[in-house]
Amino acid sequence: MGTGSGTGDIGDTGGVVDDRADAKRTVLVTAHTGREAAVHSARLVMERLIAAGVNVRVLDDEAEELGCALAEVVPENGAASQEAELIIVLGGDGTLLRAAELARPAGVPLLGVNLGHVGFLAEAEMEDLASVVDRVAEGRYEVEERMTIEVVVRLNGSVLARTWALNEASVEKKDRMLEVVAEIDGRPLSRWGCDGVICATPTGSTAYAFSAGGPVVWPEVEALLLVPNSAHALFARPMVVSPKSTLAVEILPDTSAGVLWCDGRRRFDVPPGARVEVRKGEVPVRLARLLGVETTGAPFTDRLVAKFDLPVQGWRGRVRSG
């Protein structure tokens, strides 16, 4: 996990070292424009940032809805985040995963404001909006890196697709039940008739993999998760595997085709006889964590309790002696 901020690294004293005082800071703001609350919140964020002297960018396909005349309009491609300090995302985890596609190549951190349901990737809730913008304007945030996975689809030695994911790569049935063999580090593990197989990161352990019965893995743990989905087999437990391992899911020849989904956004057909290989990615996704706000920067345990509304009544904490 790395630390830093838009205006410099966080030093041992807890202060922010401003080594870019003369630079014009730029923040890209993106929102779920299908939600009125997200559009309204994005406008407030942009106005507040501009008032603080921060240059604001918006994507060209969102500019009309967000309607800030002083914002710089940029196309939704790799250049959108170039030389930006931060991307503020207003919406649910789906909106943030979309923004991750823009942020990852440039190494720009994402800061999510949750307007969805669970919103595990988000740093703040809508009611924290004013504090969020103030902390960004002051450079009061640190940056952590989240592991990604690289995904390759092969058929008879040829590469059919190459992509990546922050949460998971899921091989799923297309029409009928999948017949697959799972492989770890070049060795066969088990054959399953199933609805699919999920290869997830620790970040994705609270997403699709969780719904399929996978374990919750703390984000700072580096590991790969292999989670069979509705497998008709005696041995079909979710597994936590070394981050140095390579996972593979082979669709058996002369069986039904499958489909690969990465983060629920990028889709690829997987024909019978093809294999999907998954390994730790070389390029992480960076997430911003606010400093000095009680409702944010919380330990992951607290996030679990809050997001899943877990019952903790009766907890007294560690008994202190003396």
Does pLDDT of 16 surpass 50? no
| 85, 58 Cβ separation under 8 angstroms | no
Confidence of residue 121 (pLDDT cuts 50, 70, 90): confident
DSSP helix/strand/coil, 229: strand
Weakest mean pLDDT among 80-89, 123-132, 165-174, 250-259: 123-132
Does pLDDT of 2 surpass 60? no
| 248, 141 Cβ separation under 8 angstroms | no
Residue 50, amino acid: I
Q: Is 85 annotated as a binding residue?
A: no
CA 154 to chain centroid, in Å, comes to 25
Tell me, what's the pLDDT at 186? 97
Confidence of residue 295 (pLDDT cuts 50, 70, 90): very low
DSSP helix/strand/coil, 95: helix
Confidence of residue 122 (pLDDT cuts 50, 70, 90): confident
Query: Domains in the chain and their CATH numbers?
Result: 26-146+284-308 (3.40.50.10330), 149-280 (2.60.200.30)
Q: Is 12 annotated as a binding residue?
A: no
Tell me, what's the pLDDT at 319? 65
For residues 50 and 42, what is the distance between their CA atoms, to the nearest angstrom? 12
Tokens representing 230? 């509705």
For residues 109 and 115, what is the distance between their CA atoms, to the nearest angstrom? 19
Catalytic residue among 61, 93, 269, 309: 93
Residue 221, amino acid: V
Residues whose CB falls within 8 Å of the CB of residue 64, separated by 6 or more in sequence, listed in order? none
Global pTM value: 0.88
Q: Is 94 annotated as a binding residue?
A: yes
| 33, 39 Cβ separation under 8 angstroms | yes
Q: Interior CA angle at 210 toward 206 and 214, to 5°? A: 120
Q: Reply yes or no on whether 134 is catalytic.
A: no
Q: Is 100 annotated as a binding residue?
A: no
